[in-house]
Homo-oligomer: A and B are copies of this chain.
Amino acid sequence: MAQLQRIGIVGGTGYAGAELLRLLSAHPHAEVVAVTSRGDAGTPVADAYPQLRGVIDLDFVEPSTANLVDCDIVFFATPHAAAMHDVPALLEAGKRVIDLSADFRLKDADEWAAWYGVEHVCPELIERAAYGMPELNREQIAGADLVAAPGCYPTAVVLGFKPLIDAGLVDAASLIADAKTGVSGAGKSLKPGFLFAEMQESFKAYGVAGHRHLPEIRQTLGELAGGDVGLTFVPHLVPMIRGIHATLYARLSDSNAGSADALQALYENAYADEPFVDVLPAGAAPETRHVRGGNMCRMAVHRPGGGDTVVVLSVIDNLIKGAAGQAVQCFNLMIGADENCALAAPGPLP
């Protein structure tokens, strides 16, 4: 039976932090006791998030370790290169940590430094971190004291490719992930491109030359494939707030294998026991609104025209299954609660 956990949230003013607050405030085994914000310390959390008026009655505090001393578990919802400075002391103090940022995702500290532009300050902890995708390593997460919650794109892409790669059906050297995201993945960044007037009624690709989620996806797919994979990853920005839609293309190694029926069965079987992966009926196409506000990943597998290219459509809510929800899913595993505790409710639609 899970016990009540005292929770700290570092970086509570961002969107992932707000979703953590919303999800954990309704969690029977969680009591949020500290929410930090460098800029808003001393002001009510509900001033930053008026939808939480009457739900959260805390003031933001400074993001110091002292302010987290009463916590059992600390979530980091910070930009990259922040958590790594505080995590060692927290682990030392016996806290468990779930990091929603990128700091402990890449196993190779040099690669991490190359993509994030700064040296890692505690590379010795990287190996200790469990990669927080329950569908891949549920047991490791349950026993971990440090969890690196995956990025939003990796979640949608890896879950979509996994059955194909596990089954060895496709050429892992030429995978393509054409991914589309709502803008909330960028957080509250004050950049012109994220202004309403610059985004509305427009669509574009970005980061074609290289996006920070590329090495994470490659690393995780590589672990599944048992070797290097070749991946072309093109992210796009959709004029919407939430949602990721990954359209995945893989070439069948043997065009006689992988009938549409076999592919459908492969996917249904692969995820039959997963509480948060839903394989749609043959022929379907998931819409991002079907997962908006909830922790589900929904997907469909197609083999258009009977050709040798398999197409997988995979959708998540980037702030939930792609961030806060997946972190809570890990939390549930870590404390021995039902995995779907406080995560079962679908979001409103339309």
A positions within 8 Å CB-CB of B: 15, 18-19, 22, 26, 49-55, 174, 176, 178, 180, 182-184, 186, 188, 190-192, 194-206, 208-210, 230, 232-234, 236, 238-243, 245, 247, 249, 251, 278, 280, 283, 285-294, 296, 298, 302, 304-305, 307-309, 311, 313, 315, 319-320, 344-350
Contact = CB atoms under 8 A, between A and B. Distances in A.
Contacts of A201: 182, 200-201, 240-243, 288-289, 292
Contacts of A203: 180, 182, 238, 240, 243, 245, 287-288, 315
Most chain B CB within 10 A, of A232, A234, A288, is at A232
Contacts of A307: 230, 232
Contact of A245 (B236, B278, B305): B236
A36 to B, nearest CB: 19
Contacts of A198: 188, 196, 350
A46 to B, nearest CB: 10
B245 A205 contact: yes
B294 A51 contact: yes
Contacts of A54: 278, 296
9 contacts: A15-B197, A49-B349, A50-B286, A184-B350, A188-B198, A196-B199, A203-B287, A208-B313, A232-B307
Nearest to A285: B205
Contacts of A315: 203
A298 B52 CA distance: 12
Nearest to A289: B202
A199 B311 CA distance: 23
Given A205-B285, A313-B208, A192 B195 contact: no
Contact of A205 (B278, B313, B319): B313
Nearest to A280: B50
A265 to B, nearest CB: 18
A305 B214 CA distance: 11
A204 B198 CA distance: 20
A277 B41 CA distance: 28
Contacts of A194: 195-197
A289 B180 CA distance: 17
Contacts of A240: 200-203, 239
Contacts of A49: 349
Contacts of A204: 245, 285-288
Contacts of A243: 201-203
